[in-house]
Amino acid sequence: DAGVIQSPRHEVTEMGQEVTLRCKPISGHNSLFWYRQTMMRGLELLIYFNNNVPIDDSGMPEDRFSAKMPNASFSTLKIQPSEPRDSAVYFCASRETGANYGYTFGSGTRLTVV
């Protein structure tokens, strides 16, 4: 199993541009999570999906952030327009449905907005 795959690994963009982060969860994992990590705030849950349906997006900071999961093997997190304060590492994680399972994290996307 290749694990949770995220792309790109690094993204540098100018303020105001649209940014799209991508994630492929582990096959068979029905729950997918997007996290953001910064030095100041640590790991924050942005949104999670269960069986491709968004369940809780209360962690999404603003309307500039949106996430989709069109099928069981692909999810995107989009920021439009991007701002310097969005600079962070964005992680995707997946797990099997059920409270007793643990998370598998991707390697993350380091986003820098200049």
Residue closer to other proteins by CB (options 16, 61) is 61
Q: Using the rule CB under 8 A, give the single segment among 11-19, 22-30, 61-69, 99-107 that binds other proteins.
A: 99-107
Give the distance, in angstroms, between the CA of residue 49 and the centroid of all CA atoms in the same chain.
11
12 belongs to the binding site for other proteins (CB under 8 A): no
Q: Tell me: does residue 102 bind other proteins (CB under 8 A).
A: yes
58 binds other proteins (CB under 8 A): no
**What's the closest the beta carbon of residue 102 comes to other proteins, in angstroms?**
4
- Using rule CB under 8 A, residue 15 touches other proteins: no
| Window of 15-23, 61-69, 71-79, 104-112 that interacts with other proteins by CB under 8 A | 104-112
Q: What does the alpha-carbon distance between residue 68 and residue 72 come to, in Å, rounded to a whole number?
A: 11
Three-class SS of the chain: CCCCEEECCEEEECCCCCEEEEEECCCCCCEEEEEEEECCCEEEEEEEEECCEEEECCCCCCCCEEEEEEECCEEEEEECCCCHHHCEEEEEEEECCCCCCCCEECCCEEEEEC
Residues that bind other proteins in the complex, under the rule CB under 8 A: 31, 33, 42-43, 45, 48, 50, 55-56, 91, 93, 98-108, 110
